[in-house]
Structure 1
Amino acid sequence: MVKVGDKLPSVDLFEDSPANKINTADLTNGKKVIIFGVPGAFTPGCSKTHLPGYVSSADSLKGEQGVDEIVCVSVNDPFVMSAWGKQHGADGKVRMLADPSGALATALDVNIDLPPLGGVRSKRYSMVVQNGEVKELNVEPDGTGLSCSLANNIGKK
């Protein structure tokens, strides 16, 4: 599994449509970025707690912690991620990036098989990446819980 001090793998994610590729290396180059992964868009814990926490904390995370961007990643298609972000008022606060094949989850070794959600998904995690290097990593012990990876815990280490 990825660990603090590792370089973030270079993986293409998608924003809004399959035509809009966002490479993780380019995304984090020269920036401080919070990336948090969730098991699935529109799922209860992700929709009631995880995403809303980052949306409501975005201004303070960017202001007080000097974060350039906050990114939510899920093993969903880009259209689903876009719709989910709109439903939660993420525009301008949290970028909603799709990892449709689970390439990032696999490269980070945070993939988890959740048959009720369609198979391979991402464990729930959060990380701070600065200039491509993982500076902080919080992976939920059971892969899906809502504790260490929440917005109110990021940057506390």
Structure 2
Amino acid sequence: MALSAGDTIPDVTVMTMGKDGPAPAQSGALLGSGTVVLFGVPGAFTPACSDQHLPGYLALAEQLKSKGVDKVACIAVNDAFVLDAWGEARGTGDAIEFLADGNGEFAKAAGLELDGSGFGLGTRFQRFAAIIKDGKVTDIGVEDVPTNVDVSSAEAVLAKL
């Protein structure tokens, strides 16, 4: 069953990139305090993710924070090196925190897996965006089509805050 409003976020190990390289962290600790906007993408450097989804959150990061968002985070079934390179390539700085779910454990626990094997991608995330308050999902939008960036867009999330 897919993650929905009222659910507690899954608490699994993800990787983040630190100054000394990739480091494990628990998703519950990273996402369980304050107001967090978490958006998931099928893959770093893919067209809709790179050209629409990530840039929208980068452009509206300050507006999201002015509405009480403490953290904007992006999660993908990619490794920490790829997500770090993607953030650097897109100039995200500290505006967006990247969570690498390289083994797809969060995607599976959240019920948000996407079978991208037909495109040579394997198991990935469905494209989504969630508003999380103190570890509980208050709103989530999951795209029906992986290339769409509508209900998971930064604009859609901003309108719900």
TM-score range, shorter chain: over 0.9
Question: What is the DSSP-based 3-state SS (H/G/I as helix, E as strand, rest coil) of the residue aligned with 1:126?
Answer: strand
Contact 1:34 1:128 in 2 (8 A): yes
Q: Distance in 2 between matches of 1:29 and 1:122?
A: 20
Q: How far off is 1:30 after superposition?
A: 2.7
Contact 2:32 2:136 in 1 (8 A): no
How many residue pairs end up in the alignment? Answer: 156
Where do 5+ consecutive residues of structure 2 fail to align?
A: none
Q: Which of residues 54, 57, 61 is equivalent to 1:54?
A: 57
State the identity %: 36
Q: Distance in 2 between matches of 1:77 and 1:30?
A: 24
Question: What is the DSSP-based 3-state SS (H/G/I as helix, E as strand, rest coil) of the residue aligned with 2:25?
Answer: strand
- Name the counterpart of 1:32: 35
Question: What is the DSSP-based 3-state SS (H/G/I as helix, E as strand, rest coil) of the residue aligned with 1:129?
Answer: strand
Contact 1:136 1:155 in 2 (8 A): no
Contact 2:41 2:49 in 1 (8 A): yes
Q: What is the Cα-based RMSD across aligned positions, in Å? A: 1.4
Q: How far off is 1:76 after superposition?
A: 0.5
Where do 4+ consecutive residues of structure 1 move more than 3 Å? none
Q: Which of residues 105, 112, 126 is equivalent to 1:103?
A: 105
Q: Normalising by structure 2, report the TM-score.
A: 0.92
Change in Cα spacing, 1:117 to 1:145, as seen in structure 2 (3 Å) is: farther
Q: How far off is 1:156 after superposition?
A: 2.5
Within 5 A, what are the aligned runs for 1:44-123?
A: 44-63=47-66, 65-115=67-117, 116-123=119-126
Post-superposition Cα deviations, 1:68-122, rounded to whole Å, max 9, x if no partner, equal 1000011001000000001111111001111001111111101011121421000
Q: Normalising by structure 1, report the TM-score.
A: 0.94
Contact 1:40 1:117 in 2 (8 A): no
Q: Distance in 1 between matches of 2:120 and 2:155?
A: 26
Where do 5+ consecutive residues of structure 1 fail to align?
A: none
